[in-house]
Structure 1
Amino acid sequence: MTGPVNRSQTSTAELERRWEAVRSAMRAEGLDALVMQNTSDWVGGYARWFTDIPATNGYPRTVVFYAVQPMTVIEMGSFDTSRDLDGRDPIHRGVGRIVNTPSFVSIGYTNSYDADLLVEELKRNGPKKIGLLTPGALPFALVSALKNELGTGVEIVDATDLVDTIKAIKSPEEIALIREVADLQDKVFAAVCGYIRPGLRDIDLANFAQAEAHRLGSDQGIFLGTSAPLGSASRFAPRQLQGRTIGKGEHFSMLIEVNGPGGMYVEIARTMVLGQATQALKDAFATVKESQDYNLSLLKPGVPAAEVAAKHDDWMAARGLPVERRLYAHGQGVDMVERPLIRRDETMTIAENMCLAVHPGYDDGTVFAVICDNYMIGPDGPGACLHKTEKKIFEID
């Protein structure tokens, strides 16, 4: 065939399953259309979940999902250009119309361009009740245009929960894709263990890991980590802070959080020591592993996520450890971070076929103790760990 080929495509049957589930929920709520906009493939999963094409590089990708007709997409492109499709295009499946505009979030005077086209498209199709996905995160220009230009005859509501409750429960195809990316990450970590040595910079490890992930089929994601002497915390840090050179006897903590087939994300974290780990580091790792095990015992269908978080804090406090102020466990799929969040402000309950990353940890200034793995929730709780990498500190001669 000619033209681009999607190398990690979600099946059309899976997309149709998603669309029908959402349309059924929309009918129950009397919704005619959903509006979403994303600019990132890392935590911009609505656009990808509906269209199988992510937003990337900070460029806006706006999607209108209708209850009774193919989608409209507004995305980067030339002025005054559009394409009419039939919903069966091999790349833009389920899309009936693509409209383009050269807008940039960094160029203030273009911020209304997508919004103006969105209003025009909605007026063309005439929905009377529109649901917004994460309206608080949508651009001010877009939300203002919808409220000011569509008129009093159009009702605009928050439909985030409607989609999130469907998106959080993984289908058999999604679960298979999740298992594939967990296997990919195991292979990347094993390759890093064979590559790490004194004299490399932190960024050299991150670059090696990224190249290996791309070779194995990943498109997007992050590699966080820094080295440090034993007795100092080896923390996660992004690329611009990965300039340190690793010395003999030092350690390196790495988080691998990349996607794989179908754009699915999971994550794994372990610590490597170029020599022998100290007893303090071993003890700290044993504690967070025990904490992970305790959390897994709580993650049963029907249990409120907020209740799990409260019990985790009680467990930590009873051992003289700090309670969590960050996000230590959460859902994953086409987003690096998606619901449910395991913390006090989450309203979801745990349910079968959710994919959860569980990564308790703490930092006392001398030790950064961390473990991270993913689990699928079964009828009685988590199944076997999706990652097969041994849960230990890796001592490398």
Structure 2
Amino acid sequence: MNVFSIADRPVIRLAADGRTLNPVSRVELERRWAAVRGAMADAGVDALVVQGANGISGGGYFRWLSGQPSGNYNPRTLVFPADGLMTLVDQGPFDAVLEFDGDDPSNPGVGRRCMVPSYPSVAYTADYDAAIVVREIRRHGYRRIGILAAASAYYPFGAYLREQMGAALVDMTPAVDAIKAIKSEEEIALIQDAAAMQDRIVAEVAAAIRPGMRDFEVMAHAQHAGQLLGSEQGMFFGSSAAPGQAAGLRPRFQQGRELREGDMFTLLVENAGPGGMFAHIARPIVLGRVGNDVRDAFDAVLEAQRATLALLRPGAPCADVFAAYNAFMRGRGWPEERRLHCHGQGYDLVERPLIRQDESLCIEAGMNIAVHPAIGSASMFMTVCENYLIRPDGPPSCLHGTPQRIIER
């Protein structure tokens, strides 16, 4: 089950250091920095602090500002000033400090990197990173500090920062969310690369899947293909089921079932493409003949997706889109959506805007929205998912090329 030969591998983009894969351009970073500094000036903020410890959820803020992946387990923290070079705090020897001029290919915009060997699993090191951040804030004389994506930081970090800085802290997350939700041309190109990668993953899985495989082997094949195509990380949910049973979106530890002839398999690929931008795609795969109940369920989710797309127009409040979608569902006699119906994506798997009742943002051109309606019962689970780019006028543009149909094997 070899996925690719060496000749099939994708074109690799490297930074000037010859090691850093698929770097974002300095022009793009400067665009982001300028936009954020404009928001900081409006709020009277001297510096932002953002910590990333999860590259799938929350760490995207760190990466969006720094151009570097966040930590996965060990935190990485950025102090982003209103003027001047950034300070990076991450894993390394006690008291280690490296100085940069802002042009190091691996540390763009960074002037200082401070290190400490702290670990979330070792409670007595909980304040180590935060103490360095507070030291650097005071060393530079920053007075009003913006917190960015507090939910992505470890609790002791935020608690220590609050204890030391108190009223000097202000939440800058909403202001930055409104900026980064609208993608630049370079970001859109990265998202298109992710979608194209996922189209190829679906094709590879469709060619490889067969009775006798276990669910996790199918998903491992998908993950292997993605890694060879330049993916950095992601999530792979799905499972198989016999006719009359629901093939739901199960995680890895529940993917032990063996596939049999006649089964349906639900495949959901949620990985980042080369350069770290997320998209995701879902398709049903049937090993044998497709029953009428499966066709009817697939037609239903396609209808629900098209109803959603008709509502995704620039200026539309997300809460209104969600209300209109549920009115559509009630009109068809289908259950209302209680999950996250659809949402933005970027360096995080889920980012604003969220299409649901508690979202304050409106739909705007340049947003990357994942649309994934689903219906489910004990006897059937069905979903379809692609990413769509919001256009200034006209319907959203689908970024995936995989045909919208049940895959028959």
For normalisation by structure 2, the TM-score amounts to 0.94
Paired residue type of 1:375:
Y
Deviations 1:119-166 (A, max 9, x none): 111111111111101235533322332233247xx6211100111011
Distance 1:200 1:136 in 2: 39
Contact conserved, 2:390 with 2:397, CA < 8 A, in 1?
no
**Aligned match for 1:185, one of 183, 192, 198:** 198
Say if 2:104 is the partner of 1:94: no
Aligned to 1:306: 319
**Equivalent of residue 10 in structure 1, options 24, 44, 48:** 24
CA distance in structure 2 between the partners assigned to 1:262 and 1:137 by the alignment: 20
Write the distance in 2 (CA, Å) between the matches of 1:256 and 1:211: 12
Separation in 1 of the partners of 2:123 and 2:330?
47
By how many angstroms is 1:13 displaced?
0.8
- Percent identity over the alignment is 46
What letter corresponds to residue 117 of structure 2 in structure 1? P
CA drift at 1:3: 6.3
2:196 and 2:131 map into 1 onto residues whose CA distance is 44
* 1:382 to partner: Cα distance: 3.8
Number of aligned positions between the proteins: 394
Q: Give 1:366's match in structure 2, choosing from 379, 397, 406.
A: 379
Instruction: Give the match for residue 23 of structure 1.
Output: 37
The letter for the 2-side match of 1:145 is Y
Write the distance in 2 (CA, Å) between the matches of 1:64 and 1:93: 13
Whether 1:294 and 2:307 are equivalent positions in the alignment is: yes
Contact 1:301 1:381 in 2 (8 A): no
Task: Give the Cα separation in 2 of the matches to 1:224 and 1:294.
Answer: 25
The corresponding residue for 1:119 is 134
**What is the CA distance between 1:330 and its match in structure 2?**
0.1
Report if aligned partners of 1:233, 1:363 keep a CA contact under 8 Å in 2: yes
Conserved in 2, the CA contact under 8 Å of 1:299 and 1:381? no
1:376–1:382 CA contact under 8 A, matched in 2: no
CA contact (8 A) 2:316 2:362 kept: yes
Structure 1 gaps of 5+ residues are: none
C-alpha distance in structure 1 between counterparts of 2:375 and 2:73, whole Å: 32
Cα distance in 1 between the residues matched to 2:185 and 2:17: 30
Listed as ranges, the matches of 1:1-397 within 5 Å are 5-43=19-57, 44-150=59-165, 155-396=168-409
The amino acid across from 1:255 in the alignment is L
Equivalent pair of 1:52/1:262 in contact (CA under 8 Å):
no
Tell me the alpha carbon deviations over residues 85-133 of structure 1, each in whole angstroms, 9 at most, x when there is no partner.
1111111101111111111112211111111111111111111111101
Secondary structure, counterpart of 1:102 in structure 2: coil
Q: Which shows bigger deviation, 132-141 or 110-119?
A: 132-141
TM-score, length-scaled by structure 1:
0.96
Q: Residues of 1 paired with 2:292 and 2:41: CA distance?
A: 59
Q: Distance in 2 between the 1:72 and 1:298 partners?
A: 43
Is the CA contact 1:375–1:382 (under 8 Å) kept in the aligned structure 2? no
> Match of 1:73, SS?
strand
Q: Which secondary structure does the structure 2 equivalent of 1:378 belong to? A: coil
Q: How far, CA to CA, are the matches of 1:29 and 1:113 in structure 2?
A: 29
CA RMSD of the aligned region, Å?
Answer: 1.4
Distance 1:181 1:136 in 2: 26
Is this contact kept in 1: 2:17–2:106, CA < 8 A? Answer: no
C-alpha separation in 1, matches of 2:312 and 2:104: 41
Q: 1:2, CA displacement in angstroms?
A: 9.6
